[in-house]
């Protein structure tokens, strides 16, 4: 079976092909021009998706050494994400599936991340704890199978990736914040400032809004006119990054102590952060659990994970109508399309 998938939820257009269970193409076109605006501009993102999706699909087929007629199922991200961006990939996929008279499978982007560890050689073992950390979401999920996900906790305000972006902006490091903070932190001392980690009534929930405000207050109090010397900027970045990592590892450890969990998987765009990868790897080692962290190409938005998730939905017997609409957010506790 040959499955083709399309991702267009934010600022990456991606097309992937899985042939008989093997990933044979995963092309990603990143819209780097958003850097000029300090964040993703939805209208420009939508325009770029429409321009690039077909050439990218042709290249993915070429790389797969397949033709359109060889494709059996077409998947596309349905949400959450930027609605205008989602509409392009989803509608294109529906049109293509209709013209080829083959099934169309809409995919929840978060579920794509959750199962992205299965794109690796060493795969997660059910039930596993998925630590989903991205620009839009911070979630702790207990994943029991390909059809059952239990939400343990989520952020009550900002996502971790969002906090990285906002703090990077405060520090004048630019966009995107994740890599910029990590790079600055490499030259900083994380012990220099102790930023607080929110302790909420629900032990598995996160809050990064207070942390972000703490950084702002510290900057305003310590530096006149927000002029921050490089070494101080690096120290703040390191201290902030450490606080985020402490929050995530603390809640993940709580989950390990309270649920039967065979393995861990750190997924999402912020899973590219090396100190976070190291911290979760150390946590898993302490509990003698396997940890699966996808390769960098599967951490950011990519169609490989969408294609894999779509394939699993199709294999489980799920079928969808072409009237399926994209969704910008996910309803509370809802993870199955």
329 touches other proteins by CB under 8 A = no
90 touches other proteins by CB under 8 A = yes
Q: Which helix or strand (DSSP H or E) is residue 114 part of?
A: helix 109-114
28 touches other proteins by CB under 8 A = no
Cα–Cα distance measured from residue 274 to residue 236, given in angstroms and rounded to the nearest whole number: 17
Half-sphere exposure of 51 toward its Cβ, with a 13 Å CA cutoff? 11
70 touches other proteins by CB under 8 A = no
Which residues, other chains included, contact 39 with Cβ-Cβ below 8 Å and sequence gap of 6+? Answer: 165, 175
| x-or-dash string of contact with other proteins, 156-185, rule CB under 8 A | -------------x-----x----------
287 touches other proteins by CB under 8 A = no
31-47 b/e (C-beta count within 10 Å ≥ 16 → b): beebeeeeebbbebbbe
Which residues, other chains included, contact 161 with Cβ-Cβ below 8 Å and sequence gap of 6+? Answer: 133, 134, 135, 136, 138, 177, 178, 268, 269, 270
Q: How far is the CB of 84 from other proteins (least distance, A)?
A: 6
Return the residue of 87, 120, 198, 216 that touches other proteins, per CB under 8 A. 87
| Residues of the chain by 3-state class (helix, strand, coil), percent to 5 | 45, 20, 35
The two structure tokens encoding residue 30? 């990143």
- Taking CB under 8 A as the binding criterion, the range among 88-96, 150-158, 186-194, 302-310 that sits at the site for other proteins is 88-96
Return the residue of 17, 53, 163, 283 that touches other proteins, per CB under 8 A. 53
Cα–Cα distance measured from residue 213 to residue 60, given in angstroms and rounded to the nearest whole number: 44
Peptide bond before residue 176 is cis, with ω within 30 degrees of 0:
yes
Return the residue of 150, 191, 322, 336 that touches other proteins, per CB under 8 A. 322
- Taking CB under 8 A as the binding criterion, the range among 92-100, 181-189, 284-292, 329-337 that sits at the site for other proteins is 92-100
Task: Select 82 or 276, whichever has its Cβ closest to other proteins.
Answer: 82
Return the residue of 185, 206, 326, 337 that touches other proteins, per CB under 8 A. 326
- Taking CB under 8 A as the binding criterion, the range among 42-50, 115-123, 214-222, 287-295 that sits at the site for other proteins is 42-50
Task: Select 314 or 327, whichever has its Cβ closest to other proteins.
Answer: 327
Return the residue of 30, 37, 144, 297 that touches other proteins, per CB under 8 A. 37
259-297 b/e (C-beta count within 10 Å ≥ 16 → b): eebebbbbbbbbbbbebbbebbeebbeeeebbbbbbeee
Return the residue of 15, 93, 119, 305 that touches other proteins, per CB under 8 A. 93
Instruction: Give, as ranges, the residues between 186 and 245 that touch other proteins (CB under 8 A).
Output: none
Cβ(76)–Cβ(92) under 8 Å? yes
- Taking CB under 8 A as the binding criterion, the range among 12-20, 222-230, 273-281, 320-328 that sits at the site for other proteins is 320-328
Nearest residue to 70 (alpha-carbon basis) of 25, 10, 112, 110: 25
72 touches other proteins by CB under 8 A = no
The two structure tokens encoding residue 118? 């299965």
Applying CB under 8 A, the site for other proteins has a residue count of 41
Binding residues vs other proteins (CB under 8 A): 36-39, 41, 43-44, 46-47, 50-55, 57-58, 68, 84, 87-100, 169, 175, 321-326
């Amino acid at each position: 079976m040959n499955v083709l998938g399309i991702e267009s939820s934010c600022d990456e257009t991606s097309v992937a092909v899985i042939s008989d269970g093997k990933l044979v193409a995963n092309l990603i076109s990143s819209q780097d021009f958003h850097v000029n605006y300090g964040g993703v501009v939805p209208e420009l993102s939508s325009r770029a998706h429409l321009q690039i999706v077909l050439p990218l699909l042709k290249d993915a087929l070429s790389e797969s050494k397949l033709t359109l007629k060889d494709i059996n199922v077409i998947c596309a991200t349905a949400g959450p994400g930027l609605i205008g961006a989602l509409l392009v990939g989803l509608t294109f996929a529906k049109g293509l599936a209709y013209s080829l008279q083959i099934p169309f499978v809409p995919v929840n982007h978060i579920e794509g991340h959750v199962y992205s560890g299965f794109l690796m050689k060493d795969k997660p073992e059910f039930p596993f704890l998925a630590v989903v950390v991205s620009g839009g979401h911070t979630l702790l999920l207990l994943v029991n199978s390909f059809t059952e996900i239990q939400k343990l906790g989520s952020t009550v305000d900002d996502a971790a990736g969002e906090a990285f972006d906002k703090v990077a902006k405060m520090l004048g490091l630019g966009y995107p914040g994740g890599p910029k903070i990590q790079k600055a932190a490499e030259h900083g001392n994380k012990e220099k400032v102790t930023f607080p980690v929110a302790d909420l009534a629900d032990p598995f929930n996160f809050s990064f809004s207070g942390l972000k405000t703490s950084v702002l207050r510290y900057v305003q109090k310590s530096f006149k006119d927000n002029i921050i010397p490089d070494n101080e900027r690096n120290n703040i970045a390191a201290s902030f990054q450490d606080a985020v990592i402490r929050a995530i590892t603390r809640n993940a450890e709580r989950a390990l102590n309270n649920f039967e969990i065979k393995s861990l998987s750190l997924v999402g765009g912020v899973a590219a952060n090396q100190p976070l990868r190291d911290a979760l790897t150390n946590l898993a080692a302490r509990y003698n659990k396997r940890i699966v962290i996808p390769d960098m190409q599967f951490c950011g938005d990519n169609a490989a994970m969408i294609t894999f998730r779509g394939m699993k939905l199709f294999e489980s017997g799920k079928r969808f109508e072409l009237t399926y609409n994209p969704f910008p957010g996910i309803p509370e506790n809802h993870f199955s399309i």
